[in-house]
Amino acid sequence: MKIITNFKTILLFSFIISALSCEAQIIPLNTGILSIPENAYVKDSNNELMPYIGTYKANFQGKEITLFINKEEKRIVKRIDKQFYRDALVVKYIVKNATGTILQDTQNNNSQGIYLISSNMKSGNTVRLIYSGTNCGVGWGDIFLKKINSTQISWEYRPDDIIIDSSKCPSGTDINIYLPETKDLIFTKQ
């Protein structure tokens, strides 16, 4: 009887140790993408993303652009070679023309988004975001936000090329890029 009790104790202890060792490894926000292990958690332990959070506005070529920047904790990142979690900035936006007509609004759209891919807080106070594009992936690319002061960020958008054909994008689909394709555009916190 005592052998069975000891076996159950050892089995229970082994199970608890296994469960604890399966916990995700927590690593710093500035860890390079190639150094992130499978199922790790890239955590914003020092609240480095907090200064970016808020609503920002800018005007560019007759358009008013409003960015809604929020922090999402433990956002899953799936890559070809691994999967991990990270605290990320998620950006939704509204673009209006000079008369106030909304050209594009992604506030309620979960498939079109801008989200943090990496940060470089120590040298340059800059975050790099990936933009998935809009209809048919148009405009996908990189966006760089640099914190200038407590109320302003600098914007740089580098869209990548995409070939659009009728098999990927039905005719009549809006394939305009409404985000400002520029560097050093200043957004002011509202």
- Whether the predicted pLDDT of 16 surpasses 70: no
* Confidence (pTM): 0.80
- Give the residue carrying structure tokens 């000891």: 6
The pLDDT of residue 111 is 63
Give me the mean pLDDT over the 98-119 stretch. Answer: 80
pLDDT in tens, 132-184: 888 888 888 999 999 999 999 999 999 987 667 777 788 888 888 899 999 99
The pLDDT of residue 184 is 95
The pLDDT of residue 34 is 85
111/150: higher pLDDT? 150
Give me the mean pLDDT over the 107-121 stretch. Answer: 69
SS (H, E, C) the chain: CHHHHHHHHHHHHHHHHHHHHCCCCEEECCCCHHHCCCCCEEECCCCCCHHHCEEEEEEECCEEEEEEEEEEEEEEEECCCCEEEEEEEEEEEEEECCCCCEEEECCCCCCCCEEEEEEECCCCCEEEEEECCCHHHCCCEEEEEEECCCCEEEEEEEECCCCCCCCCCCCCCCCCCCCCCCEEEEEEEC
pLDDT bracket for residue 121 (50, 70, 90): low
- Whether the predicted pLDDT of 84 surpasses 70: yes
pLDDT in tens, 21-80: 456 799 998 888 888 999 999 999 988 899 999 999 999 999 999 999 999 999 888 888
Average pLDDT, the chain: 83
The pLDDT of residue 120 is 62
